[in-house]
Amino acid sequence: MGQRIYLIRHGETEWSLSGQHTGSTDIPLIARGEDAARNLGLRLREIPFARVLTSPRLRARRTCELAGLGPVAEIEPDLAEWDYGDYEGLLSAEILKGRPDWNIYRDGCPDGESPGQISARADRLIVRLRGLVGNVALFSHGHFGRVLAARWIGLPLGEAQRFQLDTASLGILSYERDRVESPVIALWNAMGVPR
């Protein structure tokens, strides 16, 4: 089996629970988020990782630590969440009151990242990932993880909205028959240890 990219979204926080847009605000995991991160660690413990990369945000780093991969993790700035700019901390419902047709994948965020910027960031990371050998664990965030998945399989950024990504979930980006020209999503939005 060739390279597999294990994409892990951080565990639950107060803001992910409430639905507030959390880009650069560093808030901790809640107890349920910590428990889910430990559970993910049970699923990941037998996988030999050549590299472990994490967003610089506390919630992703803590998820990585609780999953048991903290000691070998490297900070990867490109794994950070979408920069929400003026929409940081707001609920989608609050944003839609002022902009009823707003769609982050089309419109981006004022004083934050544009769709073009986040797509370019994901593409840059994909180029680096494809240059690595072996399994790679990525600890990241909801919107950025969705963008990364869409771009991995060559979809335009707007299609990322079709990939639900829950907290403390696991996705696997890989290749059909180990052919780099045939990227696939081998697993998506899986939770912890199968029951």
Model pLDDT, residue 135: 97
Residues annotated as catalytic are 10, 81
Side chain identity at residue 50, one-letter code: A
Model pLDDT, residue 193: 54
Chain-wide mean pLDDT for the chain? 95
Does the pLDDT of residue 127 top 60, yes or no? yes
β-partners of residue 101 are: none
Rounded mean pLDDT, 136-152: 98
**Hey, which bits of the chain come out as E strands?**
5-9, 49-54, 73-75, 135-140, 169-175, 183-191
Model pLDDT, residue 195: 38
pLDDT exceeding 70 applies to what percent of the chain?
Answer: 97
Contact between residue 172 and residue 187 where contact means Cβ atoms under 8 Å apart: yes
Does the pLDDT of residue 194 top 80, yes or no? no
Q: What are phi and psi of 19, to 5 degrees?
A: 95, 15
Q: Output the pTM of the full model.
A: 0.95
Model pLDDT, residue 2: 73
DSSP-assigned letters across all residues of 126-182: HHHHHTS-SEEEEEE-HHHHHHHHHHHTT--GGGGGG----TTEEEEEEEGGG-TTS
What are the pLDDT digits (tens) for 26-46? Answer: 999 999 999 999 999 999 999
Angle at 164 between CA 193 and CA 20, to 5 degrees: 100
Rounded mean pLDDT, 77-92: 97
What CATH homologous superfamily does 5-191 map to?
Phosphoglycerate mutase-like (3.40.50.1240)
Please report which helix (H) or strand (E) contains residue 45, including its range: none
Q: Worst-scoring range by mean pLDDT, 84-93, 146-155, 178-187?
A: 178-187
Does the pLDDT of residue 192 top 90, yes or no? no
